[in-house]
Chain A
Amino acid sequence: MIYHPAILSLLTASTIISMMVLFAGWKGLLILRCWDLKSGSELQLQMERSTYLVSTILAYILFFHLISLFLYIFTADDLHSMFVGAMCAAGSLNANRFGYPVLMLKIVTCICAGVWLIINHADSQGYDYPLIKPKYAFLLVLVPLIIGETSLQFLYFAGLKPQVITSCCGSLFSAGAGTLSSDLAALPRVPMEAALVAVLAITCLGGILFLKTGKGGYFFAAASTLLFFIAMAALVSFISIYVYELPTHHCPFCILHREYGYVGYPLYAALLGAGIAGMGAGALMPARQQASMANVVPGIQRKLVATSVALYLLFGLVTAYLIATSALKF
């Protein structure tokens, strides 16, 4: 365990977030069990009031979780000098087996919290709480995810031993090391570029089709989810090497550094935003059947799809710009 102020603050934040989500989950459980809209009883009124509390809590959780995601990467980056062989966050995260799972869980929980808030927003537009049950069932899925993330994060920091020799981005994200990250890096550049462009085009077309006709919502959601993963893989496999202008450097964290103009932030922000909006639009598809939702949901979905498409295009543009201005040419 290292007494680094950043570690302490991350642990504090996660503990508080966990407590908040536990509380929200408990309220959610109560709502799932006792909800009866027809009743004017005080219990029902109490539960309706607690929905405000739960959505406030979730909004805060999403906000703080996003910051803690970046703080986590930053902390790992700052700690790299403690580990032999670590040159950036990639190395520190590899210092024990919990580093990467925590990062993954943080991303997943951010997306889940975002999608939950989208569903919640739609639900609050319906006069009979049409999505209340699925919404709180989803919340109950989120609870163990966040608790798990907090525990793993604790294990990760508790298990940090400064003298551990780790492998850093050079070896971790270089082709042929046999790990998931190296497999990502080993993905051939040209097919990956082609795949990214193709899926980006399909997603945009799907989005435009949806905006025009209101059809193909599931298709768009699937495409944008796929695009999210492909874009993540593309960051490791080829976008990074254009940024670093070094054909062997695949690290997805160094692009957050000042040396590269903080270009990682717009890229990651656009990706996360686009992913959440796209998946949220898909998650709202079943709600189109509900009477009270029928004239609200399509409007929300259109906004989400438009946001998602715009952010993916922004991602594409930034990437294209990076490739065009890179000194690295193939």
Chain B
Amino acid sequence: MALYTLVIFVLASLIFFVHAIKRESTTILREAPEMVVQRQLAGRHELIPIDYIEKIRSIRGVDKVEARLWGYYYDPVFGANFTVMVPETKQLAPGRIILGRGVARTQRISTGDMVTFRGATKASLLMTVQEVLDYQSELVTSDLVLVSRSDFQELFNLPQGHATDLAVTVANPDELATIAAKIADRLPDTRPILRSEILRTYESLFDWRGGMMTVILFSAILSFVIFAWDKASGLSADERREIGILKSIGWETSDVLLLKFWEGMAVSLTAFLLGTNLAYGHVFFFSAPLFEPALKGWSVLYPEFRLEPAIDFLQLAILFFLSVFPYTAATILPSWMAATVDPDAAMRT
């Protein structure tokens, strides 16, 4: 019973967690640009010259092209990687930064504090924290540092007239694939990436990770099923005697089977409810401390946030099929064997 609940709890946590994370990343990516154009040099991501903007804008159907600046900053003191970005919507004054929660937490700073960054040219940059980002969808923004364009160029010693990549907006979303093909054709050293592709990659990545975890857990489920089988078939002498009595006083095989069915139902239902509720609390109130390392990003700055509760029929059905169903199937044969005790067995002892 406790084992049953535990198996359901672990599985449910995993499934809820993967599902919630998928939703989270989908929500975030919904705001991402429809298409990003990167330049490739020897198969690696390279800075893209600003004059590519005009070349792309001249393609029919392209609405807007914006240069994006972003990169990673390694903080040797805390051994953490930050994502540094120049915001597209917010205009930041030079010397001011906005931090993600994770950065603020590790650096132990808050709004109004000063913070230093070691620039690429040895000169350190002293900046004032203007704001700490809200925790909504912290998973991705946790390690974020937003700086102004000039600070970004100074921090990384970025050559003038270059951007990290270009965000392209298209007038008609149906044309995305066609325009992407045209860009790739006209600017052979670039690689257009569609938002839907990123979304798909993310999803299959999370599914894959979740699936791998499930496969690993599978052995646990299997041993649990064997345990269920063993327990159901190894009826105690008392139980065998009781079933014998029931049969001798007029109960029929199907009555005993029904009794066993309700018994199994009660056990399964209790374990299922208990397990899923515990898992719900684990994932959505305590942010799944058991799985975080395995399933979230690789950064040292683990985001600390509450996942938006999201469960639907699919999650519960998956759970049901991975736990209750094998358990029930494993108990059919043993309960039948118990139920077919000879009715006169009670008389012959």
Contacts and interface: CB of A to CB of B under 8 A. Distances in A.
Given A4-B207, A12-B326, A60-B328, 11 more contacts: A2-B211, A3-B214, A4-B211, A5-B207, A5-B210, A8-B215, A16-B329, A49-B253, A53-B333, A67-B317, A162-B204
Nearest to B317: A71
A57 interface: yes
B44 to A, nearest CB: 23
Interface in B174-204: 196, 199-200, 203-204
17 contacts: A3-B214, A4-B207, A5-B18, A6-B318, A8-B211, A20-B332, A49-B340, A53-B333, A56-B332, A60-B329, A64-B321, A68-B321, A70-B313, A74-B314, A81-B199, A81-B200, A81-B203
B284 interface: no
Contact of B313 (A8, A10, A13, A74): A74
B27 to A, nearest CB: 13
**Interface-central residue, B15, B319, B336, by most chain A CB under 10 Å:** B336
A13 B18 CA distance: 21
Nearest to B339: A52
The winner among B199, B317, B332 for most chain A CB atoms within 10 A is B317
A268 to B, nearest CB: 14
Contacts of A20: 329, 332
Contacts of B329: 16, 20, 60
B332 A60 contact: yes
A70 B313 CA distance: 10
Contact of A5 (B204, B211, B326): B211
Contacts of B207: 2-5
Interface string B243-257: 000000000011001
B10 to A, nearest CB: 13
Given A6-B318, A57-B332, A81-B200, A64 B211 contact: no
A25 to B, nearest CB: 15
Where chain A touches its partner, the secondary structure class is: helix
Contacts of B14: 5
Interface of A: 2-10, 12-13, 16, 20, 49, 52-53, 56-57, 60, 64, 67-68, 70-71, 74-75, 78, 81-82, 84, 162
Contacts of B274: none
B204 A82 contact: yes
Interface of B: 14-15, 18, 196, 199-200, 203-204, 207-208, 210-212, 214-215, 218, 253-254, 257, 313-314, 317-322, 325-326, 328-329, 332-333, 336, 339-340
Given A4-B207, A9-B322, A60-B329, A162 B200 contact: yes
A52 B340 contact: yes
Contacts, number: 95
Contact of A3 (B215, B313, B317): B215
Contact of B314 (A2, A8, A68, A78): A78
Contacts of B328: 60
B331 to A, nearest CB: 10
Contacts of A52: 253-254, 257, 336, 339-340
Nearest to A256: B313
A13 B321 contact: yes
Given A10-B321, A75-B314, A81-B199, A2 B204 contact: yes
B321 A67 contact: yes
A256 to B, nearest CB: 9
B206 to A, nearest CB: 10
- Nearest 3 CB-CB pairings of A with B: A3-B211, A9-B321, A71-B317
A74 B211 contact: no
A9 B43 CA distance: 39
